[in-house]
Structure 1
């Protein structure tokens, strides 16, 4: 079913919309959360737990979701994920007790665990090796764009009611679910799914983790963790750091994040594919890690608004290029095990998203510069690991990897 991207624009657009919508939904609720906290009389600690339970649920479900994507098909998991996302947003909007909010966030974690590997595997199935990096760049741009425009749309919708952004997110998720049911087709035949399913049934979570330690995957998965850790730690303290050190207003911070994000999206859309063709995934990953390390340190010493904007724009770009470069490499290495690789990708991302903000917050309380410096150390260690990453794509045959 592999065809040039230009010959299957509708399918690609629907897939990108399906990954865009959950991240748009997350962004939609950002402007209303302070008011929502006041209405529900919630503490900051409770809100932290609500964020954590999403990441923990995604972490626990991701390995299973990856196997389900290989066993039951990409389309089914995408549709179930979108439906659950709609339900989770609806529950959050209707919730009047904190226990209901926890249920909503747990469902949201399940949704993320299903949609991410489902869309990633589907794109890998329908694109050629040559065009896969471009498609993965589009997917990463869709994620970033959801984050960018979500808060703005959410702020506008909130004028009609503090719970309206949640209802809107639920509505577009259900709409995307219905469209996907009728337009998307399973990219693999029943015979192909049966073959992959037979292999998946002999697997389990522990074996999946063990398989992720194989040289073809392990360094890439570690760097996935490094990326998630560095980005989440950096983003978690960015607004606090900017406020404490520079006295930036919320508007100043919003301008920096918006400009940085738009810059990253444009580069992903128009230059990422060419950069991979010219440099290759590994070299691009190394460059991004070096740039991230240097600019994480620079973030602790710059002082003017313009310099903060420039540093933030470039470091966010490095993170934005790392994600699709790693995803492209892993999809090439995966062979027919796209679901497994996409699921473990989500797992290692979740680990980074859990550990990064927690350590970042703890270090910030000690010294406001420490989160950036520690993130720089982690990224530099990730860069060092790439030098023992000796398995070339030409040597990788994921179908022959048998572990356990």
Structure 2
């Protein structure tokens, strides 16, 4: 990939995630103004995520058949419109409907970008490229909450307008400077969607998708509940909540920019994933024992480190699979991630009503289960290799 094209994709990822991050610390307070419960607040995140889970396989098919650039353009338009429309919502059902429509229109954006990156990098450079894309994602998410908190004094709906505008201004850049790859691994594009879904249960795919799902469930508990948790436990403001999200993103960015390239040269990708899962579990332990608000910041910082290790590594491992077009593979990854983000906030919202730390206990246990699953997989592979040698 030409350097200027890669830099533009990094910039697009940064702007789009800045728009997403802007509204995250503000949404609980906007929901509170409408008189919503913590469960209804969580369902706003769930509605967006579950809709993505349903439509992403279709977008994967379109990406591999029509191309990466058209889907990227369409997705950025939908993303911007969805945020602008949120300021018109006056009830829970209006807000939920707008979130669902926005998810339908914009869900193809991220897998289109990732497919472009995977198409234009070989196995040796793809891991580092995916980490840089994740870093751009993290920087946008890092900047977003801080910007959102800064705009709150001008009105609770102003961050939504800013998020929509940031998404829309990326469109001319995509139209002018992004080129469709001449070869984009579309050899399997004629496979029906239903048959493509079966691949997620085949060896080589299943464990990677299950880790994606499990990590998404655990981390999404923060997205829906952290604001309520900090209000309940420490009487925090929207600004302080925004800084907590910023700390999580800062950790991910630091690791992805300064550490991931070195790790890929010295450690295999499966081991990096295991380290990331354990580190994430440790982060949730700090949220379980929040004797002071500083424990929250330490916890989300550690969770950000774990995320930085897991997410780009899973994408790299999946991008090496050649059974499906990369648009479909990236979309299936996004679908499982979205399924986790739809289940996680609902579970966390319900557990929060039982006990304020229960969502974080659940997330910690889930991470430990994923780690044990990876260890059992290593044991099975070790036994298989030894048996093969004996034969």
TM over 0.5: yes
1:106 and 2:95 are equivalent in the alignment: no
Q: Choose 275-284 or 47-56, whichever is displaced more.
A: 47-56
Give the C-alpha shift of residue 235 in structure 1.
4.0
Contact in 2 for aligned 1:20/1:146 (Cα 8 Å): yes
SS at match of 1:200: coil
Structure 1 residues 166-225: Cα deviation after superposition (integer angstroms, max 9, x where no partner): 333333323211111111100134xx67x53xx333312x32221111111110000001
SS at match of 1:333: coil
Alpha carbons of 1:42 and 1:312: their partners in 2 closer, same or farther (altered >3 Å)?
closer
Give the C-alpha shift of residue 70 in structure 1.
0.9
> Of 106, 124, 143, which aligns to 2:118?
124
Contact in 1 for aligned 2:25/2:241 (Cα 8 Å): no
Alpha carbons of 1:273 and 1:244: their partners in 2 closer, same or farther (altered >3 Å)?
same
Where in structure 2 are the equivalents of 1:245-394 lying within 5 Å?
A: 245=233, 251-301=239-289, 303-334=291-322, 337-389=325-377
Where in structure 2 are the equivalents of 1:39-188 lying within 5 Å?
A: 41=34, 43-44=36-37, 47-94=41-88, 101-157=95-151, 162-188=156-182
Contact in 1 for aligned 2:28/2:41 (Cα 8 Å): no
1:201 and 2:153 are equivalent in the alignment: no
Aligned match of 1:397: none
Contact in 1 for aligned 2:65/2:189 (Cα 8 Å): yes
CA distance in 1, matches of 2:168, 2:136: 19
Give the C-alpha shift of residue 157 in structure 1.
4.3
Aligned match of 2:207: 219
CA distance in 2, matches of 1:294, 1:165: 33
Q: Any unmatched runs of 5+ in structure 2?
A: 382-391
CA distance in 1, matches of 2:23, 2:31: 12
Contact in 2 for aligned 1:137/1:324 (Cα 8 Å): yes
Q: Any unmatched runs of 5+ in structure 1?
A: 393-404
Give the C-alpha shift of residue 69 in structure 1.
1.0
Alpha carbons of 1:378 and 1:61: their partners in 2 closer, same or farther (altered >3 Å)?
same
CA distance in 1, matches of 2:36, 2:115: 39
Q: What TM-score do you get using the length of structure 2 for normalisation?
A: 0.86
Count of aligned residue pairs for this structure pair: 379
Q: What TM-score do you get using the length of structure 1 for normalisation?
A: 0.84
Structure 1 residues 75-118: Cα deviation after superposition (integer angstroms, max 9, x where no partner): 11111111111222233345567665444312321244201110
Give the C-alpha shift of residue 233 in structure 1.
1.7
CA distance in 1, matches of 2:257, 2:231: 32
Structure 1 residues 16-60: Cα deviation after superposition (integer angstroms, max 9, x where no partner): 222233322122234654675577x45346544433321121111
Give the C-alpha shift of residue 361 in structure 1.
1.8
Give the C-alpha shift of residue 228 in structure 1.
0.5
Contact in 2 for aligned 1:85/1:107 (Cα 8 Å): no
CA distance in 2, matches of 1:306, 1:31: 18
Contact in 2 for aligned 1:227/1:323 (Cα 8 Å): no
CA distance in 1, matches of 2:166, 2:35: 28
CA distance in 2, matches of 1:366, 1:95: 30
Q: Choose 154-163 or 87-96, whichever is displaced more.
A: 154-163
Alpha carbons of 1:49 and 1:303: their partners in 2 closer, same or farther (altered >3 Å)?
closer
Structure 1 residues 233-253: Cα deviation after superposition (integer angstroms, max 9, x where no partner): 244333444444455555554
Aligned match of 2:8: 14
Contact in 2 for aligned 1:73/1:188 (Cα 8 Å): no
Alpha carbons of 1:132 and 1:362: their partners in 2 closer, same or farther (altered >3 Å)?
same
